[in-house]
Structure 1
Amino acid sequence: MEFRPRSNRRPLINLVSLIDILSIVLLFFVVTTTFQREEPAVKIDLPKSVRSKPVRSDLPKIIFVTEDKKIFLDNKPVEPEHLGELLKKTITENPDTKIALKASKNAPFEIIIQVMDAVKFAGIPNLPTFTAEEDKTNRN
């Protein structure tokens, strides 16, 4: 009986499939990090809401109201008395522009009312607001 000698072949690693997987993972990370909207430097502590809904995909211009009575339109500081005119100009230039409010839960109510008056002055019929989703594990 004659036995064949063992061949000294090295095991092959299929690099094509590994490169395919690596390129898909890389593409996934690039796409998911590209479409994230940057939050401004303004730190806002949002109030909790049980009935909050996710934000729509068409991103609005956001009015930020901080605890220390400051108002920002997107990332630009705005005086409360000029907000209405600025919003009106924005809506006149592009009527499809959406406006939303993101106010700190500790923001003075007086400033919130000034923002709402400015929004009504600009002719905007409703003002959606941002809330943080309530942690359902701590509810009693």
Structure 2
Amino acid sequence: MKFRRNRQRENVDINLASLIDVVFVLLLFFVVTTTFTREHQLRVELPESVSATPAAAEAGRQVEITISAEGVYSVNNSLLPKSDLDTLIDAVQRASAGDNSLPLLISADGKTPHQAVVTAMDAAGKLGFSQLRMTTVEAVQGTP
């Protein structure tokens, strides 16, 4: 049996208008439902020190309190909602998981109010931390 082939082929057209509409609706949905998070970091310019000794490199954990020039605190790069003693104590307690034998590092901006640094030291003292370090940068010799 011999089948006859039709030499004329029909042109098949795909209507893309509805597909484009669906793509735009999906795009709009993703744009509207996307949440953008902003990472907050404090910019700290450390004070200079000529007589500082570098800290020994440790592989263990440590708790770091960073204080901005305006007196805003962050504990282990987590910004605190309020800059008071109770909030700072709670944050340090969570970061250390109750282990007050960890080294506590205070990094304060050179223009930080003295009271903010004293508050951080007070929080460390109330929690029983004994290894307290202050972060500075090495001063260039010959500058006043």
The aligned length equals 100
Displacement, 1:53? Answer: 1.7
Unaligned residue ranges in structure 1 (runs of 5+): 1-39
Residue 84 of structure 1: aligned partner: 89
Distance of 1:134 and 1:55 partners within structure 2: 16
1:109 pairs, out of 114, 118, 123, with 114
**Aligned residue identity for 1:82:** T
Residues 105-114 or 80-89, more deviating: 80-89
| Amino acid in structure 2 at the alignment position of 1:72 | S
Of all paired residues, the percent bearing the same amino acid is: 17
**Residues 31-56 of structure 1 deviation map (CA, whole Å, 9 limit, x = unaligned):** xxxxxxxxx83211111111112232
CA contact (8 A) 1:84 1:118 kept: yes
Per the alignment, do residues 42 and 69 of structure 1 end up closer, same or farther by CA in structure 2, a change over 3 Å counting?
same
Alignment-derived partner of residue 42 in structure 2: 42
Q: How far apart, in 2, do the equivalents of 1:61 and 1:87 lie? A: 7
Aligned counterpart, 1:53: 53
Counterpart AA for 1:86: A
Q: Which residue of 1 aligns with 2:4?
A: none
Higher helix share: 1
Whole-Å separation in 1 of the counterparts to 2:117 and 2:65: 10
Distance across 2 between alignment mates of 1:87 and 1:42: 17
Contact 1:90 1:97 in 2 (8 A): no
Does the alignment pair 1:74 with 2:76?
A: yes
Could you tell me how far apart the structure 2 residues matched to 1:124 and 1:95 are? 5
Preserved contact between residue 75 and residue 95 of structure 2 (Cα < 8 Å): no
User: Which of these residues, 119, 123, 132, is aligned with residue 127 of structure 1?
Assistant: 132
Larger Rg, first or second structure (1 or 2): 2
Match of residue 65 from structure 1: 67
Give 1:107's aligned amino acid.
T
Deviation by residue 1:53-87 (Cα, 9 ceiling, x = unmatched): 22321263210000111000011112332111332
**How many Å apart are 1:96 and its aligned residue?**
4.4
Asked whether the equivalents of residues 88 and 121 of structure 1 are also in contact (C-alpha less than 8 Å), the reply is no
Distance 1:99 1:107 in 2: 18
